[in-house]
Amino acid sequence: MTRISFRAALAFGLGIAVLPVLGYGISAPAAIAQSVADSTPVAPVQILYKALDAIQKAHGSFAERSQMLAPAVDQSYDLTAVLKASVGLRYNALNDDEKQKLLAAFRNYTIARYVSSFKPGSDVQFSVSPTVADAPAGGGKIVVTHVGGDDGSAPTELSYIVHQENGSWRITDVLLSDAHISQAAAQRADFSSTLASGGVTGLIAVLERKVQNYSTN
């Protein structure tokens, strides 16, 4: 069985990634059926973790496991908010068509990154703290998790920023707390040069290439 240490999992992609797996032992349909509406702030994190646990236990193709994970990503993340934070001020200058095409590419990239990192047989354990704190800005909450890999290392603290809109909680950022690294900030730094040189079309092309690379590795 192939095993991944949590530190190794964090090393992929843009330098900071959301890669914990929770051993809830439930099926993917049960995870997908759970509604975020009328939930607590920890619910979107639990939905994501349950789906990641399911895809690492599945033995289907990359495309099949992507289809399994996609509904949970849509339920747990506010991908528009994450994308806006990842692009920065340039986002406000985009037209509606550019925003829609970029969001579609970013969604595919987010799903593919997870699926590539959690291949069948992966084994990372973690726990979710039932206590949530107020985020320093924006009226959101912070959900703290402690992640321990299979290599005997001390657990790593990974926190999720969530916000509520129309009664539903969604993830808007991820923090590697011991280093105060924001996923959105890391992506913004990575996207900036591509947007400056190639615009939205260039960034979409880069994201599509990353998806292709993930699907073949």
Q: Does residue 154 sit in helix, strand or coil?
A: coil
In a domain, 75, yes or no: yes
Q: Do the domain assignments include residue 1?
A: no
25 has a pLDDT exceeding 50: no
Domain limits for position 134: 6-216
Q: Which alpha helices (DSSP H) does 4-155 contain, by range?
A: 6-10, 28-33, 43-57, 62-76, 79-87, 96-117
Domain CATH code at residue 81:
3.10.450.710
Number of domains comprising the chain: 1
Query: Mean per-residue pLDDT for 90-115?
Result: 96
Q: Considering the entire predicted model, what is its pTM?
A: 0.81
pLDDT digits (tens, 9 = 90+) for 157-215: 889 999 998 889 999 999 986 657 899 999 999 999 999 999 999 999 999 999 999 99
